Amino acid sequence: QAADMPKAPAREPVYRCDITGFIELPGTDICFKVGGQVIAYAVLAQDNVVGGSIFHSWKNVGGSSVHTTDDTLVMHVHGRLNFDARTSTEYGTLRAFIEMQAHDNNASTGGSFDLRHAFIQFGNWTIGKTTRTLNPAGVTPYLTDYGVNGTLFAGQGGRPVQVRYTMPLGNGLSLAVAIEDPAFYNDGDYGLQFRNQVNVARPGTLFGGVTSTQERNEVPDLVAQLSWAGSWGGFSIGAGVRQNVYALALGTTIADRDIGWRVEGGVYVKATSNVTLMARGSYSDAYNQPSGISLGDVLVNTATGAIGASIEEWMVAVGANIQWAPAWKSGMFVAYATAEPSTTVGTTAVLFTPAQVSIDVFQVMANVFWTPVKGLDFGVEVAYVDVNYNLPILTPNPTGTDAFSIVFEAKRVF
């Protein structure tokens, strides 16, 4: 009889992903997506590259003792691969995201393979390595990957390990509070250029027995950001504090501590359907690594270990994104930044005022991108940088320099 025939076992319910671009991982309740980028570019730089630089960085503009005296050609390639896994739970979406990057600029296979992002999102919590909390969302002009790495405007980045809680406040407003790993922001000297040049002029000294450093980690950095996004644009304002700790040598008693702080914010306005205007700014006192010029946090007397002065930095920038046509777009910006010690530094034999060890940086950039098909960009980017600084202990004393660079980039995003 048909009623006596064995019944097939009940089938497990089928889990379906309803997120565009994601597919089901067979046999699980996980939706996942695999993506990546291939980025290749060539750079012509005018007298501003120390070796094979990979960005427009102002830090590579300096005295003749530390940079080339001829125009330079640099060619580079990046390969990025990312994995995004999501599961719906009674607490909200559980997400894990990983992005790796390999890059090289020679014919061998010796390039590095690095971790760019690795974080977990659970409800309102974000835990892991990702973009820093204070970075203003939406306030970045279109840039080549080369430009993203080395401009004052976009150089306010970084991806520290962190624990962040984001609280939606309604009507597009949200508050994010986080603790971030201070090791990411350690900056051991008053800028690479300064260290190189000072070692040439007076080996082992900086500003007459004073050096700039931030060592060890006792407490995490604490940051918070208030942001809003709406139909006409958005804004964000945030602040953070950190502790600078110095010891004369590893294993010795802590010699001195200092509290650093920073405020920064940004705003973008959708002027038309094709034009977005933006501005951002920051001020920091002994909390400078996220800044575009990041010269260090505090000045320390190397004989006593006492922190004698903090380093103050500020930056302002304005920019725009323009969509000329469906396949053509441009980004542009102008930025200015300055840094100097908060007070006179040095020993009684050699004293320097803040103005004597200050640095000012001006940068302007513009580009154009062509997107012939979805996911493929070809771009040309031009940058100009002017640097003015004072280092009276140098011989000769370079007071300033400027340089142009141009980038040709091809990018495939999948």
Question: Phi then psi for 199, rounded to 5 degrees?
Answer: -65, -30
> What confidence tier does 354 reach under pLDDT thresholds 50, 70, 90?
low
Distance CA 317, CA 122 (A): 34
Highest mean pLDDT among 11-15, 173-177, 392-396: 173-177
Q: How many CA atoms lie within 13 A of 378 on its CB side?
A: 4
What's the whole-number mean pLDDT along residues 328-354? 74
Q: Is the pLDDT of residue 359 over 50?
A: yes
Domain ranges in the chain are 15-413
Tell me, what's the pLDDT at 100? 96
For residue 164, give Cα distances in angstroms to 4, 59, 123, 180, 241.
Answer: 60, 31, 11, 8, 15
Residues 6+ apart with CB under 8 A from 5: none
Tell me, what's the pLDDT at 213? 47
Instruction: Please list the alpha-helical segments (H only) found in 111-178.
Output: 145-150
Per-residue buried b or exposed e for 342-370, using 16+ beta carbons within 10 Å of the residue's own CB = eeebbeeeeebebebbbbbbbbbbbbbbe
Tell me, what's the pLDDT at 404? 81
> What confidence tier does 339 reach under pLDDT thresholds 50, 70, 90?
confident
When the pLDDT of each residue in the chain is averaged and rounded to a whole number, the result is 77
Going through 149-255 in order, the beta strands assigned E by DSSP cover 161-170, 173-180, 210-212, 221-229, 233-246
211 close to 265: Cβ distance less than 8 angstroms: no
**Of the candidates 87, 79, 78, 85, which has an alpha carbon nearest to the alpha carbon of residue 119?**
85
**Of the candidates 60, 139, 53, 104, which has an alpha carbon nearest to the alpha carbon of residue 407?**
53
Report pLDDT digits (tens) over 137-158: 889 899 988 777 667 776 556 7
Q: Is the pLDDT of residue 413 over 90?
A: yes
Tell me, what's the pLDDT at 32? 92
Distance CA 172, CA 138 (A): 14
Report pLDDT digits (tens) over 218-239: 789 999 999 999 999 999 999 9
pTM of the model: 0.80
Distance CA 102, CA 91 (A): 35
CATH architecture of structural domain 15-413: Beta Barrel (2.40)
